[in-house]
Structure 1
Amino acid sequence: MEFRESKGIFKQIADNISDRIITGELPVGSKIPSVRELAATMGVNHNTIMRAYLEMQRDEIIQNQRGIGYFVAEDAINKINKIRKEEFFKYQFPEFLHQVKVLGLNKEDLKPLLNILDES
């Protein structure tokens, strides 16, 4: 995994794990890699992984079973989707609207994008 400077590494790791949950690579109830295992795999400090896991645990995406490890929570996919929608409307969508205004785009310019949504 290559990290971007625009976002904290722990957040990128949490996003990567969330992606793997959504795609089914890490199904509900499955054990996720240990902190040390993932730190070694990704080449980052174990504290960075721990921070990602603590955030995901706080958001109820994963659960810690003491002495056993971390597991994907029952409602993880719904929690991830809710968080991502909130982040989209708080951060990315306002930036998109700003760019639409700056570029002087109108409804006709955006119609092809809306058609893509209808096709999905």
Structure 2
Amino acid sequence: MEFRDNQAIYLQIAEYICERILLKQWKIGDKIASVRELAVQLEVNPNTVVRTYEFLHQKEIIFTKRGMGFFVSDEAEDKVLAFRKDEFLGNELPVFFKNVHLLGLDFDFIKEKYEAFKTANF
């Protein structure tokens, strides 16, 4: 995984996990990788993964079963959607609108590009 400089690594790992949940690669009730497994897989310090798991646990996206590990919560999809929508609307959309304005882009053009993106990627 390539990490960006503009955001804490633990939040980028949280995004990675949330994407897996939204793409249904990790389903409700699925056991997720242990701290050590994910740290090795992503080539990060295990403490970073612990911080990620604590963050996701606080958001009720994952839960622990004592002695068994971490699992995707029943409400994970709804919690992820709510969290990601808030982040997008508060942080990314204003930057997007600013760039649309500065570049003089037309929303019909953007819609066309969006539809092409969806076709190519989903």
* Bin of the TM-score, shorter chain as denominator length: 0.7 to 0.9
Partner of 2:65: 65
Question: Deviation of residue 2 (structure 1)?
Answer: 1.3
TM-score after normalising by structure 1: 0.87
Segments of 5+ residues of structure 1 without an aligned counterpart are: none
- Counterpart in the other structure of 1:89: 89
Distance in 2 between residues matched to 1:75 and 1:15, nearest whole Å = 16
Partner of 2:48: 48
RMSD (Å) for aligned C-alpha atoms: 1.9
Aligned to 1:4: 4
Provide the residue aligned with 1:113 in structure 2.
Answer: 110
3-state DSSP of counterpart to 2:44: coil
* Residue 100 of structure 1: how far off its partner (Å): 2.3
- Cα shift at 1:114: 3.5
Q: What residue identity is the alignment partner of 1:30?
A: D
How far 1:113 moved relative to its partner?
A: 2.5
Count of aligned pairs: 117
1:32-43 residue pairs with structure 2 within 5 A?
Answer: 32-43=32-43
Q: Secondary structure at the residue paired with 1:87?
A: helix
Amino acid in structure 2 at the alignment position of 1:38 = L
CA distance in 2, matches of 1:41, 1:115: 37
* Aligned AA (1:81): L
Q: CA deviation at 1:79?
A: 0.7
2:70 aligned counterpart, secondary structure: strand
Query: How far is the alpha carbon of 1:63 from its aligned partner?
Result: 0.3
**3-state SS of paired residue (1:63):** strand
Identity fraction in percent: 40
Change (3 A) 1:116 1:4: closer
Q: From the CA coordinates, give the structure whose radius of gyration is larger.
A: 1
* CA displacement at 1:117 relative to structure 2: 6.6
